A and B are shown apart, each in its own frame.
Chain A
C-alpha cells in the first residue's frame, strides 16, 4: 500500500459550498467542504442519499460548478474556467467510470477504450495500452460492440478507458451499482490494482460498504459536510461508521444503508 499524502494532492477542494433551489425549497448540497485527495490514493466517498457525495464528485470532476470555494485538479484551479478549458481538463486529466451507460454503443470495446485519446487526437502509448488491456483481461473482446458484452465486461472496458489516458485522477460513480457481486468484485480488484501497481489516484462514490472496503480511505458525508474520515477501512468498520453517521442525521434507526 502506498504511503498517504506524498507531495501535492491530486485534487483539492477548499470551502466548497453549493445550494439548490430557493426559499423553503433551499437544499444545501455542499456546506463549506474542504478535502485533499492525495496522489496515488484510493478514496471512497460515502453517505446517505442527499448527503452531497455525488455533487462533491461532480464538482471535483469539472462536471459541475460550486457556488463558492475552490477546486484544484493538480495545479489547475477550476473556478473561472470556460467550458472549453473544462472539457480539455476532463479529457486530459480526469478519467470517468459511471454506474451505467459508460460506453458509446456504436464503437467497439477497443474504440471505446481509446476514445478520450482519439478525441484529443493522440495515439495511446503502446506499452501502457498493453498493460491496461492485460489488466482488464479483455484481449479477445476488443472488437466487440458494447451490446455483445456482459455488464461486468462493459464496466471493465470503462475502467480501461479511464486508465488508458493516464489521468491525474479517476472518478468512479457507483461503478458496481449495476453489477452482480462477482463482476463487482472483479471491477473493484481492478481499481485496487491500478492504485497499487501504477499509483493511480481514484475517487469512488458508493453505497456499498463492501466496495468501500477496497479503498485506502473512506470519507463520510452528511448534509453536505464531511462528518468522518476513515483510514484503512474494512467492511465492518465502514458499516459501523455509516450507522453512526445516519443516526446523527436522522434520529430514527436506519433500516438499511
Chain B
C-alpha cells in the first residue's frame, strides 16, 4: 500500500503542491512569528544582560523594564557608605533619563518617532557579560555642560561628526538644548535595537534635569573578588535608605526578561492568531483537494478494495498521502518562515525597531512547532476524505457511474447550526464579561465557531444565491453564462467549501473595517462633543515631553487656560490600568465630559473618576475606594464620578496630577490642551504655540479636527497591517479556487471535449470557466461580507460603553471588497481556463 501511496503522490504532484502551499503559508506564519520574537527576545536579552552589573540599586519598581521616568532619587551620600563595604569592588552611581531625543539636520528625531531615547552619564561598571556597560570608541567623554557623547549607531544614522553641534529634545527646561558632540560610545551588548543613547557629564545632568541636586536614580555595584551577587546585595541593602532596594544582577535580569517576555508574548499571540486563521483556511483547501482527488480516484480505490485492500489500508493510504504533503509543506514553510521573519525585521525597522544586529535563531522549538502544526493540520484535514474513501464499496470498481457515499447535507446543517449557536453564545459571553484576554479568547473562538458553522451550512445557504447568479448570467452571457452557473451548482459542497475559505478572510476583513470606520466616526463625534479647547499639543506615539511646553504656552497672549494631561500605567486590582491625570481646576475649560454619576467637581487629591465600562467590569461605584499600584507604591483613591469613555481623554481612570507624583512618576506631559480667550485671534495663538514647539520634533500643535485626524490615521495604519495579515489567508483561499477549478476541469474533460465538439469556441470556454470562478469568489465574498457586517456591528454595539459610540459601516469599501473578489475570481481562473482551452478535443472525448 505504501507503494500505491507513493505513486499517487508522484502522479498528482501539481495538485498536491497547491494544497501544500496552504500548509507552507500557515507554517511560515507560525515559524516566522516564532523566529522573529525569538530574535527580538534575544536582542533585548542581550541589552538587559549587557547593561546589568552584579547588583542594581534603585527605588522599588523604578528600575523595571517597563517603568516610566521616576521622580524619586537616591541622595549622593549613600555612595561613600557603599564604597566602604568590603564586598564592593566599585560603585557606579547613575542618572537614567527617558525621553531624550536627538534631533537630526532635517529637524526630525534621529531613529524615528517611536523607539525610546535614553540618557545617562558615563559609567565604568562591568556588566554580567563581563564587558563594560559602556565603552568609548571614539573622541572624548563629555566633561563640561552642553557636551555629549552618542551611541555610534545614532551618530551614523544622524550623519554627525565629532565636534558637530547636536540639538536634543529633553524633558528638562528648556525642552530643546544645543550640545557639542565629543565622543562615540558603544553599548555593552553591541546594539540598542534602534533606541538612542545620549551621555551627559554628571554635573550637567544634575543641573539640567535634577534641579542641581546631587542625587542619583540608580546605582550599579561590581563585586569584589570571591563575593557572590547575593552577599553583595545583602551587604549593600543594610546601608540603603528605606524603599531603596539592592537587587542581584541575576534577579534583575530575570525580572526584566519576564516583563519582556510578556510583551513579546502579546506580539507573538497577535501574529499567531493570523497564522491560525491562515491554517483554518488551509484546512478547507486541503479537505476540498483531497475530497476531489478521492472522488476522481474512487474507481481506482474500489479496485484496490476489490483486490483485497482493507478499509483501514485505504484510509491509511489517503492519510499517509496527506501527511507527506504536510511534511513537504512544513519543510518549505519553515524556510519561508525564516524569510518572513526577515521581512518582519524590515517592517519593524520602519517603525524604529532596529534588529539588524540581532541573531535570527531557528530553535528546536520552532522546528517542532512548525512540523507539528503542519502535520496535525494535514492529518485533520485528510480524515474526512480518507473516511469517505474507505467507504467506497468494492463493487464500485465494476460500475460505470461511481457515486461516493456522502453524508447528507441535513447532518451538516444541524452540526452547522449547533456550532453557530455555541459560537454566538461564546461571543455573547465574551462581550458581556469584559475580562481582558479571556473575553478576547471567547469572542475569537465564538467567531471562529460561527464561521465554520456557516461554512458547513453554506452548501445549503448558497443554493439560492447561486440560482440568482444563474439567472443574471443567463441574461448577460447567454448559454455560456448559464453553463458556468450550472457548473458551480453541480457540486454544491465543493463550491461551498471553496467559497467558505474565502469567506473567512473576508469576514474578518469586513469586521475590522467596520471596527475601524466606527472607531473613526466615534472619535470624530466624541472629540466634537467633548473637546472645548482649540488646540492640542501632543506626540503621535505618546512619548511624554517637558512640562516647560505647557509653562510657555501659559505665557502666550490670548490664552485663557492650559491643561496638562499625563499618563500612567499602574496596576489596579491585579490588572494593567490606563490612567490619565489632569489638573481638575483647569480641566473644565479643556473638555466637557458628560458625567453619568457623581461629580467631576469632586476630583482632587485622593479621588478618581472612572469610565462607565470600568465601573461595569470592575464593579466600582461612586463612594468605593480602589488602590492603584504605581512603581512608587500604592495610592488609595475614592471614586467620585463615573463618565462615559471619551477619546479626548485617553484613559479608563481620571485622577489629579498629584496622584502620579505620589506614585513616584516624574512630571512629564503627554498632552496639553490650550483654550484661547473668547476675543483672541485663533491664528495668532496658533502661530505662537507653533513657535514654542517648532524645535521639538516630538510634539505638534493640532486643532481638534487635526487631532482627530491623527488618531484616525493611527487606527488606519493598524487596520492596514491587519488587512495585510488577513490578506495571506485570502491568498490561500484564492489558491483554493484555482485548485478546485483545475480539478473540476480535469474531472469534466469529456464534457469540455463534447462542448468543444459541438461548437463551443476556445474563448467561450475560457469565459465559461472564468464565470464559474467568479461565482465561487463572489459567493464567498458575499458570505464573508454578510458575516463581517454581522460580527462588526454586533461588536461595535456591544462595545458602546468602551467609546465606540457610532456604528459606521463602510459600504463603499464593502463594494470594493466584492469587486476585488470578482477580479480575483477572474485571475484564479486564468490557469484552469487556459488548460481547458488547450485540451485536445479528440482526446478529451475519448477520456475515460
Contacts and interface: CB of A to CB of B under 8 A. Distances in A.
B761 interface: yes
A123 B756 CA distance: 19
B483 A107 contact: yes
Interface string B745-768: 000001100111111111110000
A96 interface: yes
A243 B755 CA distance: 37
A90 B759 contact: yes
Contacts of A105: 490, 751
A58 B842 contact: yes
Which one of B490, B755, B845 has the highest number of Cβ atoms from chain A below 10 Å of its Cβ?
B845
Contact of A119 (B490, B764, B842): B764
A104 B751 contact: yes
Interface string B825-848: 000000000000000011001000
A246 interface: no
Contacts of B86: none
Contacts of A115: 479, 755, 758
Contacts of A64: 842
Interface residues of A, number: 28
Contacts of B623: none
Nearest to A61: B757
Main secondary structure, interface of B, reads helix
B487 A63 contact: no
Given A101-B750, A105-B751, A119-B764, A63 B479 contact: no
Interface in B663-714: none
A121 B482 CA distance: 13
Contacts of B760: 87, 91, 119
B431 to A, nearest CB: 45
Contacts of B842: 58, 63-64
Contacts of B759: 87-88, 90-92, 116, 119-120
B216 to A, nearest CB: 83
A118 B750 CA distance: 20
A106 interface: yes
A4 interface: no
Contact of A87 (B480, B489, B756): B756
A83 interface: yes
B841 A63 contact: yes
B761 A106 contact: no
A28 interface: no
A161 interface: yes
A232 to B, nearest CB: 31
Given A98-B754, A101-B750, A106-B486, A118 B479 contact: yes
B490 A106 contact: yes
Contacts of A161: 758
Contact of B478 (A58, A96, A102, A118): A118
Interface in B457-514: 478-480, 482-483, 486-487, 489-490
Which one of A61, A98, A106 has the highest number of Cβ atoms from chain B below 10 Å of its Cβ?
A106
Contacts, number: 70
Nearest to B400: A100
A116 B841 contact: no
Contacts of A119: 479-480, 755, 758-761, 764
A39 to B, nearest CB: 21
B462 to A, nearest CB: 16
Contacts of B761: 84, 87-88, 91, 119
Given A105-B490, A119-B480, A90 B757 contact: yes
Interface string A88-129: 101110001010011111110001000110111100000000
A18 B240 CA distance: 105
Interface residues of B, number: 25
A90 B483 contact: no
Contact of A107 (B486, B757, B763, B841): B486
A84 B750 contact: no
Given A63-B842, A96-B757, A119-B479, A106 B762 contact: no
B483 A101 contact: no
A101 B751 contact: yes
Interface in B756-787: 756-764
A64 B756 CA distance: 13
Nearest to A162: B758
Contacts of A121: 478-479
Nearest to B837: A83
A50 to B, nearest CB: 15
Nearest to B759: A91
Contacts of A106: 483, 486-487, 489-490
A192 B356 CA distance: 84
B762 A83 contact: yes
Contacts of B758: 90-91, 96, 115-116, 119, 161
Interface in B722-765: 750-751, 754-764
Contacts of A102: 754
B755 A104 contact: yes
Contacts of A61: 757
Contacts of A91: 758-761
Contacts of A111: 482
Nearest to B480: A119
Contact of B754 (A87, A92, A104, A118): A104
Contacts of B486: 106-107
A83 B845 CA distance: 17
Contacts of A101: 750-751, 754, 845
A84 B763 CA distance: 9
A168 B759 CA distance: 14
B481 to A, nearest CB: 11
Nearest to A83: B762
A181 B359 CA distance: 80
A103 B753 CA distance: 11
Nearest to A121: B478
21 contacts: A63-B757, A63-B841, A64-B842, A83-B762, A84-B761, A87-B756, A87-B759, A90-B759, A91-B760, A91-B761, A92-B759, A98-B754, A104-B751, A104-B754, A105-B490, A106-B489, A107-B483, A116-B758, A116-B759, A119-B479, A119-B758
Interface of B: 478-480, 482-483, 486-487, 489-490, 750-751, 754-764, 841-842, 845
